[in-house]
């Protein structure tokens, strides 16, 4: 039987403060736990006893295994690799969206995501679960996005999806650059808008038809990444 102290520790990992104090995060399910172990994440403990899992699970339907892992040092970062394509999240606050975007990045071979400090914590249980193991392969950094963008070479493309952008299907796209995705309700901040050199628009169809005001940020990220990779194929 798992001890009360361990249960207390695991429950503290529900909050960002608790995770940062302990330097640990929680992952559940054989897929997520297995991917983290394969990627070399150090496990503080693995819980696979059915009764113990029920005591510590944060899922409505427990998946048989809970892993408590050490967080890597990823909260600060240097500038992106200018030979590759990277993502930047400017205040994306929904954990499900952040986790799904990490999974999308993994699918499309994008290895680095740079997040504003207003973006949801990638080590929260909901984000980790939504990544379905992709958190093991995508490096997520938290930093000052404005300063990060200002440090890039002048000719390095900074893309962003904006209503006043150019149709993505008619735009010139590169195999390198930084793609900025904004907050669910407010989009990209004004400060980051000023730093975007290649504004893009995902058009609705058919043109001129009354439709939804916007796309979910994770869906917009998937469409954008797919078009970049299609061009590079």
Tens-digit pLDDT profile for the chain (233 aa)? Answer: 899 999 999 999 999 999 999 999 999 999 999 999 999 999 999 999 999 999 999 888 888 999 999 998 754 556 788 899 999 999 999 999 999 999 999 999 999 999 999 999 999 999 999 999 999 999 999 999 999 999 999 999 999 999 899 999 999 999 999 999 999 999 999 999 999 999 999 998 877 788 888 899 999 999 999 999 999 86
Distance CA 98, CA 62 (A): 22
> What Rg, from alpha-carbon coordinates, does the chain have?
19
pLDDT of residue 62: 86
Report the SS3 class of residue 8. Answer: helix
CB 111 within 8 A of CB 139: yes
pLDDT of residue 125: 95
pLDDT of residue 131: 97
Distance CA 30, CA 89 (A): 28
Cα of 153 vs its chain's centroid, Å: 24
pLDDT of residue 74: 57
Segments in 138-215 forming alpha helices (H):
145-150, 190-193
């Amino acid at each position: 039987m798992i001890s009360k102290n361990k249960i207390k520790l695991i429950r503290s990992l529900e909050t960002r403060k608790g995770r940062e104090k302990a330097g640990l995060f929680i992952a559940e399910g054989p897929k997520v736990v297995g991917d983290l172990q394969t990627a070399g994440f150090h496990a503080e403990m693995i819980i696979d006893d059915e009764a113990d899992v029920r005591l510590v699970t944060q899922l409505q339907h427990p998946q048989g295994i809970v892993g408590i892992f050490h967080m890597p040092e990823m909260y600060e970062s240097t500038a992106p690799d200018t030979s590759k394509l990277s993502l930047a999240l400017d205040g994306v606050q929904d954990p499900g969206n952040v986790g799904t975007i990490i999974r999308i990045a993994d699918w499309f071979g994008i290895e680095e995501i740079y997040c504003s400090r207003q973006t949801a914590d990638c080590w929260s249980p909901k984000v980790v679960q939504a990544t379905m193991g992709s958190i093991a392969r995508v490096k997520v950094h938290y930093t000052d996005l404005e300063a990060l963008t200002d440090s890039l070479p002048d000719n390095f493309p900074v893309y962003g999806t904006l209503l006043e952008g150019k149709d993505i299907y008619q735009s010139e796209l590169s195999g390198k650059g930084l793609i900025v995705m904004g907050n669910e309700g407010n989009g990209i901040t004004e400060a980051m808008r000023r730093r975007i050199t290649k504004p893009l628009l995902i058009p609705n169809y058919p043109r001129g038809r009354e439709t939804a005001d916007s796309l979910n940020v994770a869906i917009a990220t998937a469409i954008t990444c797919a078009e970049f990779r299609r061009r590079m194929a």
